Structure 1
Amino acid sequence: MDFLTSACCNTAPVQAEYTPIGQTCTDDTSGMTYYIVGDKESRRGIVFCYDIFGFHPNAYQVADILGLEGLRVIVPDYLEGKPLTLAELKQPEVFHDFKTRRGTYAYCQPMTLAAVNILRTEGCEQIGGVGFCWGAKLVMGALAEKGKSGVASSALLHPSFLEMADFEQAQGPILLLLSKDEPDFQNEFAVAKAQPFGGDSRMERFSKQVHGFCGARGDFGNDDVTGDVDKALAMTARFFKRTLAA
């Protein structure tokens, strides 16, 4: 069984405005478009997978906030300029194609490896992954092949598509931050905690927030939302400072 909250497919993104402080670039080797921000001298690099709505203003803002925490954050354009719309999510053939092809780790792996290579080239020695919604599945895939991807720990915020196997195959600690809409992950998290590196894993539920509250569905103009967004991102930054040796 994989875990997909119905809110993932039934809740529209919020309308928002934000001016990013980083840079949008194209990788000369892979041709991949990416956004990058944060401390250029940092030894800690983060690969961030946004939610299904792609480069939404909230995604830029989250990347910028983590960048201001002393991390070097790269956001590959995993959706290749074609984010999904709410209407498309309700079309079975489109959703099936996303879930079984273009949204899988196998499809996105080359972009993940290209992003890690960019961070390595800039001097990052330790790599972590952040995934929102479907991106949680992606960064867990990277964590399962730590030796190849270099991803040593992953933060999963309001995740979708996760299976028990993702937790069993993880090769590093995880931070699991849930909204009120995700199912119970106690059994899965127990597997993560039982791993030799499980002492650094953490789980917390934000019981007043909806699926996607840190991403495109989050109303960043609402103080009740942004208070929990700030808390979640502070936890994420602390997690990486703890699990990625500088």
Structure 2
Amino acid sequence: MAEVDKACCSIPAVTTHDYKPKGTYTKLADLDVYTIGPSTSTRALIAVYDIFGFTPQTLQGADLLSHSLDALVLVPDFFKGKPLSLSLYPPDTDEKKKTAGEFMQGTANIDANAKKLGEVAVAAKGEYESVKGWGCYGLCWGGKLAVLHSGAGTVFKAAGTAHPGRLAKDDAEKLTVPFICLFSKEDGTPELMKEYWEALEKNNKENVVEKYGDMHHGWMGARANLEDKENLKEFERGYTQFAKFFDKYL
């Protein structure tokens, strides 16, 4: 009899409304960090949220992965309690565009936050000495930070992203660890998504790349509509896919 896949069978049912996160908060590298899972685990993930911060959908995803992998999952609050408001999307007025643009250039600056992610990783390694395998994943904006920390000298054994933001072929070419990338139907121009996909496949045969062609950008993060049956199904499938991937490499 074939062995039943542990990750697939251990993800609990997703709560579709009024989700109450199961973790607690601690401090690392001067940031508040949502923390779920055993502090004595031998494997851990650092999750980088999207520009909307600590939303129930994103924290539920972290809880699902912690449960499935029996792993520690850390979600740092890079924006220090001041994420971008969901009410600004879509940015369909000049005022919304201005506010979103200022946020992306300031609070959500990629270089500054990529540096901070490195600081969090160092602090986490010092705090949780039992962890032997560290991984990282990011959603949308967070996916950029994850891929930037998955090249030469990375502390992570594996990394990934769902509905990635700010795609750049060079990032995919520089990866040195297995990487999972789950595309939505709209994560950039078709040409750029194809170029990124092909670079991932060429970089490492262990990389996992898939397109969730019916899903909007953000279906596994803050913009997930878990009251929608199709989004719920693909939310669950995406986190199951993440769990199977990290179960293999951490």
Q: TM-score, normalised by structure 2?
A: 0.81
* Separation in structure 2 between the aligned mates of residue 18 and residue 156 of structure 1, nearest angstrom: 23
* Separation in structure 2 between the aligned mates of residue 21 and residue 237 of structure 1, nearest angstrom: 18
Shift of 1:118: 4.4
Q: Which runs of 4+ in 1 moved over 6 A?
A: none
Alignment of 1:21-40 (within 5 A): 21-27=22-28, 30-40=29-39
Secondary structure, counterpart of 2:176 in structure 1: coil
Alignment of 1:143-154 (within 5 A): 143-144=150-151, 146-147=152-153, 149-154=154-159
Shift of 1:75: 0.2
Secondary structure, counterpart of 1:150 in structure 2: coil
Secondary structure, counterpart of 1:34 in structure 2: strand
> Bigger CA drift: 97-106 or 135-144?
97-106
- Whether 2:144 is the aligned partner of 1:137: answer yes
Partner of 1:11: none
Shift of 1:101: 4.1
Change beyond 3 A, Cα 1:51–1:94: same
8 Å CA contact 2:52–2:84 kept in 1: the answer is: yes
Change beyond 3 A, Cα 1:43–1:52: same
Shift of 1:86: 4.2
- Whether 2:236 is the aligned partner of 1:227: answer no
RMSD: 2.1
Partner of 2:178: 173
Residue by residue over 1:87-127, the C-alpha shift from the partner in whole angstroms, topping out at 9 and shown as x without a partner, is 55634443333434432342113432343234322121222
How many residues are matched?
224
- Whether 2:76 is the aligned partner of 1:73: answer no
8 Å CA contact 1:167–1:188 kept in 2: the answer is: yes
Change beyond 3 A, Cα 1:181–1:204: same
The one-letter code sitting in structure 1 at the alignment partner of 2:30 is G
8 Å CA contact 1:104–1:138 kept in 2: the answer is: no
Partner of 2:210: 204
The one-letter code sitting in structure 2 at the alignment partner of 1:223 is K
Alignment of 1:53-132 (within 5 A): 53-69=52-68, 70-86=70-86, 88=88, 90=91, 91-120=96-125, 121-122=127-128, 123-132=130-139
* Separation in structure 2 between the aligned mates of residue 95 and residue 166 of structure 1, nearest angstrom: 24
8 Å CA contact 1:38–1:66 kept in 2: the answer is: no
Q: TM-score, normalised by structure 1?
A: 0.82
8 Å CA contact 2:84–2:103 kept in 1: the answer is: no
Q: Which has the larger radius of gyration?
A: 2
Q: Which runs of 5+ in 2 are unaligned?
A: 1-15
